[in-house]
Amino acid sequence: MQLSLRAIRINRNKTQEEAAKGIGISVETLANYEKGNTYPDIPILKKIEKYYDVSYNDIDFFCNDITVKQ
């Protein structure tokens, strides 16, 4: 099941500040990824996968849904 980047962050109980720091990007950059305004390049995508322990196949960058897994 694919989730938005924002939903993945919320499921991990992380703030944007914590996630951005863990990934190594600015909060503004993360916010833009979460909103679908911009998309990460491959090196950043790899960092996102590692930080959240997800495959890029599980991330829906075109969805802004904040559904949280139960």
Q: Is the pLDDT of residue 65 over 90?
A: no
Domains of the chain by residue range: 5-58
| pTM summary value | 0.87
| Domain 5-58 class in CATH | mainly alpha
Which pLDDT score is estimated for 69?
55
pLDDT in tens, 27-46: 999 999 999 999 999 999 99
Q: Which long-range contacts (CB under 8 A, 24 or more apart) does 31-40 make?
A: 33/5, 33/61, 34/4, 34/5, 34/6, 34/9, 34/64, 35/64, 36/61, 36/62, 36/63, 36/64
Q: Is the pLDDT of residue 6 over 80?
A: yes
